[in-house]
């Protein structure tokens, strides 16, 4: 059986035929396993030979292990669509992923409850038809059944090249992170990006401050929860000060955490914005302004605009809040088997509707206010972005975490309720103090009408607060 050949336009650093190929250079360290570029290619090629003729897709149990990376790389090099499956998925979720994608094979440890039936290629047609995506990512399902997001080798390559240009990312860098391997940030940026650029990557297994601090690197990737914990650990934070870039994404970084990191690291973090459907579209720059609460300007090839509730376009005045729409060569190829959802996400003139609320200033800087479905509250005739209220609450020293939602109200239509994780003893007095703090900082109508204290906020694997769960409490 002939050896597989890599896709030179995508995982370029693993191409043994490239003129500047260095098979002995370190490519990946994860757990107690280290691979050179040549070693990772050989391991993926060996597994890829068993996929010869596989129609796919192939589902991979995306545990933070070397076996997961080898399996995903083997699929990519073999041209077999891969479905990274979150390792904490329940039986119903796994059954949906396998059935919806038409997966013909499972790689990695089987789930505790056993593996649902896989599709027999000889007995049923693939949901993909003749389409051969590189990766199928599944959405979190916060607005319905998780949808399969189709990405090609070309969109992944273009997105990573644009990011490398924006971040001045070169083979001389070394990447460190402990993010999940089934998502855009941890897998595409944190592993596939390094394998395309040619910089070594170390996955720490878990995103813990002590693990980040003990692992040398020039670029550290994390989500706000990770950076909040590192900001609270002065020793760990100062250990990262030699890094060239500290990158935060997947959710807005609270301004107090931004300021604390800037103080401890000697330089502010980089923030970026993207979605599974679009890859990364906005980012601050190493040599440019890094403004707390803002995610920067469009990456090369990306265009943005803001649409008002009445359908009109909004000015770039740094104040008007609208739904962010993007036009980008990194746009996905659609939702698997969901032409209706794919069409609903597009405007008549070909822009993608992100569903995120944002503002944009005259210089092209963007601030993400929240999701239009959960973070825009209409109270007493006013439209209020909950992110602004959360930021003010987080500025109070007694607040560790905060999330604001709108709940039904007979008088106001919706009223603002703040869920707070407090550093001080919670109770009525602190609640009154926090309401007064918000009222003194914001317009009166933007103050929370109620404070509810929690031990922790519900979050998904990427650290995003699950507001729909809060609204149901």
Q: Which residues are registered as beta bridge partners of 367?
A: 359
R_g (Cα) of the chain, nearest Å: 23
Nearby residues of 129 by Cβ (< 8 Å), 6 or more positions away: none
The answer to whether position 195 is within a domain reads yes
Nearest one of 423, 431, 417, 408 to 456, comparing CA atoms: 423
Number of alpha helices (DSSP H) and beta strands (DSSP E) in the chain: 13, 23
CB-CB neighbours of 112 under 10 Å: 6
Distances (CA, A) of 225 to 13, 249, 275, 291: 31, 10, 18, 19
pLDDT at 462: 58
Listed residues 103, 133, 151: the one ending a domain: 151
The answer to whether position 5 is within a domain reads no
Instruction: Identify whether the C-beta of residue 463 lies closer than 8 Å to the C-beta of residue 225.
Output: yes
Q: Same structural domain for residues 184 and 256?
A: yes
The answer to whether position 6 is within a domain reads no
Sheet of strand 58-61, all strands in order from the earlier edge strand to the far edge: 105-107, 58-61, 82-85, 135-138, 148-151
State the residue for tokens 């003749």.
Answer: 130
Which range of residues forms the domain containing residue 312?
154-371
Listed residues 325, 348, 371: the one ending a domain: 371
Tokens standing for residue 402: 């905060």
Element containing residue 48 per DSSP (H, E): helix 37-50
Distances (CA, A) of 424 to 27, 398, 433, 436: 46, 5, 12, 16
- Predicted structure pTM score: 0.83
- Pairing verdict, β 382-385 and 297-298: unpaired
As for how many domains the chain has, the answer is: 3
pLDDT at 361: 95
Q: At what angle do helices 386-394 and 428-441 cross, to 10 degrees?
A: 120
Q: Which domain CATH number covers 183?
A: 3.40.50.12780
The answer to whether position 69 is within a domain reads yes
The answer to whether position 140 is within a domain reads yes
* Distance, CA of 336 to CA of 97 (rounded, Å): 11
Nearby residues of 219 by Cβ (< 8 Å), 6 or more positions away: 167, 169, 173, 174, 175, 176, 199, 243, 244, 245, 246, 247
Helices marked H in 240-385 — which ranges?
A: 255-265, 339-344
Q: Same structural domain for residues 261 and 341?
A: yes
Q: Same structural domain for residues 184 and 213?
A: yes
pLDDT at 453: 94
pLDDT at 201: 97
Q: Same structural domain for residues 210 and 336?
A: yes
Q: Same structural domain for residues 203 and 338?
A: yes
Q: If 0-12 CB within 10 Å is exposed, 13-18 middle and 19+ buried, where does residue 1 land?
A: exposed
Q: Same structural domain for residues 353 and 208?
A: yes
Q: Positive or negative CA dihedral for 148, 253, 325, 371?
A: positive
Tokens standing for residue 229: 């914990």
Q: If 0-12 CB within 10 Å is exposed, 13-18 middle and 19+ buried, where does residue 237 land?
A: buried
Distances (CA, A) of 257 to 173, 186, 204, 211: 25, 21, 22, 19
Q: Same structural domain for residues 447 and 460?
A: yes
pLDDT at 374: 67
Q: What is the 3-state secondary structure (H, E, C) of 214-271?
A: CCCCCEEEECHHHHHHHHCCHHHHHHCCCCCEEEECCCCCCHHHHHHHHHHHCCCCEE
* Distance, CA of 412 to CA of 380 (rounded, Å): 4
The answer to whether position 54 is within a domain reads yes
pLDDT at 328: 96
Element containing residue 44 per DSSP (H, E): helix 37-50
pLDDT at 439: 87
Sequential DSSP letters for 385-402: EHHHHHHHHHTSTTEEEE
Q: 82 — phi, psi (to 5°)?
A: -120, 140
Q: If 0-12 CB within 10 Å is exposed, 13-18 middle and 19+ buried, where does residue 398 land?
A: middle
The answer to whether position 65 is within a domain reads yes
Tokens standing for residue 5: 């050949």
Q: Same structural domain for residues 428 and 401?
A: yes
Q: Same structural domain for residues 91 and 133?
A: yes
Q: Same structural domain for residues 114 and 171?
A: no
Q: Which domain CATH number covers 435?
A: 3.30.300.30
Q: If 0-12 CB within 10 Å is exposed, 13-18 middle and 19+ buried, where does residue 118 land?
A: middle
pLDDT at 377: 78
Per-residue pLDDT of the chain (473 residues; tens, 9 = 90+): 334 443 444 788 888 777 677 888 999 999 899 999 999 999 999 999 998 777 789 999 999 999 999 999 999 999 999 999 999 888 888 999 999 999 999 999 998 888 988 988 777 788 888 788 999 999 876 556 889 999 999 999 999 999 999 999 999 999 999 999 998 999 999 999 999 999 999 999 999 999 999 999 999 999 888 998 999 999 999 999 999 999 998 888 888 889 999 999 999 999 999 999 999 999 999 999 999 989 999 999 999 999 998 889 999 999 888 999 999 999 999 999 999 999 999 999 999 999 998 999 999 999 998 776 667 777 876 677 787 788 889 889 899 888 888 888 877 878 899 999 998 888 999 999 999 998 888 878 888 999 999 998 888 765 677 877 786 66
* Distance, CA of 280 to CA of 274 (rounded, Å): 4
Nearby residues of 405 by Cβ (< 8 Å), 6 or more positions away: 374, 377, 386, 416, 417, 419, 467, 470, 471
Q: Same structural domain for residues 158 and 248?
A: yes
Listed residues 151, 175, 204: the one ending a domain: 151
Q: Same structural domain for residues 250 and 327?
A: yes
The answer to whether position 428 is within a domain reads yes
């Amino acid at each position: 059986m002939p050896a597989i050949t890599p896709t030179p336009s995508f995982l370029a650093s693993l191409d043994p035929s490239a003129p500047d190929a260095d098979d002995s250079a370190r490519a990946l360290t994860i757990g107690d396993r280290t691979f050179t570029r040549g070693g990772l290619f050989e391991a993926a090629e060996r597994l890829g030979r068993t996929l010869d003729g596989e129609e796919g897709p192939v589902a991979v149990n995306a545990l933070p292990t070397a076996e997961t990376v080898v399996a995903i790389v083997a699929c990519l090099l073999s041209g077999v669509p891969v479905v990274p499956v979150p390792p904490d998925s329940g039986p119903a979720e796994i059954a949906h992923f396998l059935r919806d994608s038409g997966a013909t094979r499972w790689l990695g440890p089987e789930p505790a409850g056993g593996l649902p039936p896989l599709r027999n290629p000889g007995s049923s047609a693939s949901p993909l038809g003749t389409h051969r995506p590189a990766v199928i990512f599944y959405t979190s399902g916060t607005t319905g059944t998780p949808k399969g997001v189709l990405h090609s080798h070309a969109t992944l390559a273009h997105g990573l090249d644009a990011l490398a240009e924006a971040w001045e990312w070169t083979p001389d860098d070394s990447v460190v992170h402990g993010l999940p391997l089934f998502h855009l940030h941890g897998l595409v940026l944190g592993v596939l990006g390094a394998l395309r650029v040619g910089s070594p990557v170390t996955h720490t297994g878990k995103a813990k401050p002590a693990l980040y601090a003990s692992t040398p690197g020039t670029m550290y990737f994390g989500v706000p929860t990770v950076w909040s914990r590192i900001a609270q650990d002065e020793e760990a934070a100062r250990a990262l000060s030699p890094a060239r870039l500290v990158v935060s994404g997947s959710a807005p970084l609270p301004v107090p955490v931004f300021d604390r990191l800037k103080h401890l690291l000697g330089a502010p973090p980089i923030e970026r914005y993207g979605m599974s459907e679009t890859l990364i579209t906005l980012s601050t720059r190493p040599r440019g302004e890094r403004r707390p609460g803002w995610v920067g300007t469009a990456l090369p090839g990306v265009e943005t605009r803001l649409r008002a509730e009445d359908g009109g376009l909004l000015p770039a005045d740094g104040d008007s809040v609208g739904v962010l729409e993007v036009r980008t060569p990194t746009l996905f190829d659609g939702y698997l088997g969901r032409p209706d959802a794919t069409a609903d996400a597009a405007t008549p003139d070909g822009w993608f509707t992100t569903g995120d609320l944002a503002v944009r200033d005259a210089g092209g800087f963007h601030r993400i206010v929240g999701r239009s479905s959960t973070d825009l509250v209409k109270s007493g005739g006013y439209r209020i972005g909950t992110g602004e209220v959360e930021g003010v609450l987080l500025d109070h020293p007694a607040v560790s975490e905060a999330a604001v939602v709108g709940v039904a109200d007979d008088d106001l239509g919706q009223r603002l309720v703040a869920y707070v994780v407090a550093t001080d003893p919670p109770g009525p007095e602190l609640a009154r103090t926090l309401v007064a703090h918000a009222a003194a900082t914001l317009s009166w109508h933007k103050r929370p009408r109620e404070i509810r204290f929690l031990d922790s906020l519900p979050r998904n694997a990427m650290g995003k607060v699950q507001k729909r769960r809060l609204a149901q409490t």
